[in-house]
């Protein structure tokens, strides 16, 4: 297994090369540009069979992806932030048409003000469009998850588009050691693309994207509901199988030192790496601290999270975006909802942090854990929701 130093973007582009999709339609945007650039290089050098469509906007990128996927092709793209927003009109069309497009998304703060650095506001803004969303902690996970996303999205029980996200610059541009699979292994792993519907089938003319009025729109949304339910099992199966085949196992969530934990942090993406260090440190001091990493945000692993958190005393839920509703961020909101009705619920507090790429340091995480310890001891919530690390 080749071990190569790669940035998150390079790792994702490498996965795309090995997947060798029929069509890639993409548009440059910082910090995801590199993915498209590197892939364009593969196309120019003839190392992939892909038809690369260098479109004039992200809106057209997703539109062309929908066209190509409806024509029975394996289709991929990459984007970030404003680009994802410009695509957003077409994202729910991709899921309604049951097109298993895979998108490499690099998390970046939404304008305004314009900013190029990481937060999760872009990905969160499109969370309810029927796309599977997987957050990667590092370049290795990004690489592995892109491969898995193809298998998950194309599963006949699922058949939904999927996006795999990395944190802008923190993962996308940092060099890490990545273990890549052999080309032949990837080819075998993702297999041949099986089309369900194709507008290129001129012998069996289909009409796709009909006008649904009051009498059918609701029915046409139900397959997404059902597919998202199935996707939970499929993500687990695929993650388990990936572990068996290649030695790195994945799930919907990852419990890190959670078995006997009393206080914990819930986080997504690169922050998990920082949190692990603090958890280890606290464990060394005898503090029963743990980390719950949420890997799949859509479908939302409510039961798994509930199971992980119900025995705890106090939990810090980390949100790298705000919903501006005075009720905390998306992860917090969903976890609070998931915990409702359970016999045991820990104290849940929300930390909205890192907006626009504001750094979250080891010290910051130590401070957050110290607050959890205080909450756990006092049994009282010191502060339910806080915007952490912002100057007053």
Partner 1 sequence: MAIKKMGWKELMPGDAISGGTAAEFETGDWRSEKPIFHKENCINCYFCWAYCPDSAILLDENKKVVGIDYKYCKGCGICDRECPTKKEKRAITMETERK
Partner 2 sequence: MPGLRDLVKKSDPLTGGHRACAGCGAPIVVRQVLMSSKDPVVVVSATGCLEVVTTIFPYSAWTVPFLHNAFENSAATCSGIEAAYQALKRTGKIKEGQHINFVAFGGDGGTYDIGFQSLSGAVERGHDMLYVCYNNEAYMNTGIQRSSATPKGASTTTAPAGKVIPGKVQFSKNLTEIMVAHEMPYVAQSAVGFWRDLTSKAEKAFSIRGPKFINVLQPCRLGWGYKPADTAAIGRLAADTCVWPLYEVENGKYKLTYKPKEKKPVVEFLKSQDRFRHLLKPGNEAILESIQKETDKRWEALLAKSEG
Minimum CB separation from partner 1 for residue 220, in Å? 5
Q: Site for partner 1 (CB under 8 A): which residue of 196, 240, 370, 381?
A: 196
Q: Is 54 in the site for partner 2 (CB under 8 A)?
A: yes
Q: Is 96 in the site for partner 1 (CB under 8 A)?
A: yes
Cβ atoms of 193 and 74 closer than 8 Å: yes
Which of partner 1, partner 2, none does residue 73 bind (CB under 5 to 8 Å by kind)?
partner 2
Other CB atoms within 10 A of residue 225 CB: 9
Extract the runs of DSSP E, i.e. beta strands, from 57-148: 75-80, 102-107, 132-135
Q: Site for partner 1 (CB under 8 A): which residue of 1, 46, 56, 210?
A: 210
Cβ atoms of 195 and 73 closer than 8 Å: yes
Largest CA distance in the chain: 71
Q: Is 243 in the site for partner 1 (CB under 8 A)?
A: no
Q: Is 213 in the site for partner 2 (CB under 8 A)?
A: yes
Q: Site for partner 2 (CB under 8 A): which residue of 23, 102, 104, 335?
A: 23
The number of residues that bind partner 1 (CB under 8 A) is 22
Rounded to whole angstroms, how far apart are CA atoms 77 and 384?
39
Which of partner 1, partner 2, none does residue 342 bind (CB under 5 to 8 Å by kind)?
none
Query: Which residues within the stretch 92-131 sit at the binding site for partner 2 (CB under 8 A)?
Result: 93
Task: State how beta strands 314-319 and 263-267 pair.
Answer: parallel
Q: Which is nearer to partner 1, 213 or 343 (CB)?
A: 213
- Using the rule CB under 8 A, give the single segment among 59-67, 165-173, 221-229, 359-367 that binds partner 2: 59-67
Cβ atoms of 3 and 177 closer than 8 Å: yes
Rounded to whole angstroms, how far apart are CA atoms 132 and 136?
13
Q: Which is nearer to partner 2, 19 or 282 (CB)?
A: 19
Cα–Cα distance list, 344 to 123, 309, 310, 340 (Å): 31, 9, 5, 9
Q: Which is nearer to partner 2, 66 or 263 (CB)?
A: 66
DSSP tag of 126:
T
Q: Is 88 in the site for partner 2 (CB under 8 A)?
A: no
Q: Which is nearer to partner 2, 49 or 260 (CB)?
A: 49
Minimum CB separation from partner 2 for residue 69, in Å? 8
Query: Which residues within the stretch 146-185 sit at the binding site for partner 1 (CB under 8 A)?
Result: 159
Closest CA to 82 of 134, 145, 28, 42: 28
Residues 6+ apart with CB under 8 A from 327: 333, 385
Per the structure block, which two tokens stand in for 267?
Answer: 């986080």
Minimum CB separation from partner 2 for residue 360, in Å? 38
User: Bridge-partner residues for 80, per DSSP?
Assistant: 106
Q: Site for partner 1 (CB under 8 A): which residue of 204, 244, 285, 391?
A: 204
Q: Which is nearer to partner 2, 40 or 71 (CB)?
A: 71
Cβ atoms of 74 and 49 closer than 8 Å: no
Residue numbers at the binding site for partner 2 (CB under 8 A): 22-23, 25, 49-51, 53-57, 59-60, 63-73, 75, 89-90, 93, 198-202, 205-213, 215-216, 220
């Amino acid at each position: 297994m080749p071990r190569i130093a790669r940035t998150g973007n390079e790792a994702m582009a490498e996965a795309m090369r090995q997947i060798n999709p029929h069509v890639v339609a993409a548009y440059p945007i910082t910090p995801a540009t590199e993915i498209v650039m590197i892939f364009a290089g593969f196309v120019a050098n003839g190392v992939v069979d892909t038809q690369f469509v260098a479109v004039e906007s992200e809106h057209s990128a997703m539109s062309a992806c929908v066209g190509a996927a409806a024509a029975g092709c394996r289709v991929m793209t990459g984007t970030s932030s404003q680009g994802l927003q410009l695509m957003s009109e077409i994202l729910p069309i991709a899921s309604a048409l049951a097109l298993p497009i895979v998108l490499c998304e690099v998390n970046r703060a939404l304008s305004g003000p314009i900013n190029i650095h990481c937060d999760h506001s872009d990905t969160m803004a499109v969370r309810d469009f029927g796309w599977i969303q997987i957050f990667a902690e590092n370049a290795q996970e990004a690489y592995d998850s892109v491969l898995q996303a193809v298998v998950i999205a194309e599963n006949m029980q699922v058949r939904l588009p999927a996006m795999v996200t990395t944190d802008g610059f923190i993962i996308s541009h940092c060099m890490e050691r990545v273990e890549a699979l052999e080309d032949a292994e990837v080819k075998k792993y993702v297999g041949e693309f099986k089309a369900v519907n194709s507008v290129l089938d001129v012998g069996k003319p289909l009409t796709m994207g009909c006008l649904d009025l009051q009498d059918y729109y609701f029915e046409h949304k139900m397959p997404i509901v059902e597919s998202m339910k199935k996707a939970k099992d499929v993500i687990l199966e695929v993650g388990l199988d990936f572990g068996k085949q290649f030695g790195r196992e994945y799930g919907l969530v990852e419990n890190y030192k959670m078995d006997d934990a009393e206080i914990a942090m819930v986080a997504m993406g690169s922050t998990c790496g920082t949190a692990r260090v603090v958890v280890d440190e606290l464990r060394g001091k005898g503090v029963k601290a743990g980390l719950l990493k949420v890997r799949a945000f859509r479908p939302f692993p409510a039961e798994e999270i509930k199971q992980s958190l119900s025995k705890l005393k106090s939990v810090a839920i980390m949100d790298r975006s705000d919903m501006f509703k005075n009720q905390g961020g998306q992860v917090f909101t969903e976890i609070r909802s998931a915990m409702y009705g359970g016999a045991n619920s820990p104290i849940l507090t929300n930390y909205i942090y890192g907006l626009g790429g504001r750094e979250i340091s080891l010290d910051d995480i130590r401070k957050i854990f110290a607050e959890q310890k205080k909450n756990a001891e006092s049994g009282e919530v010191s502060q339910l929701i806080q915007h952490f690390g912002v100057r007053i």
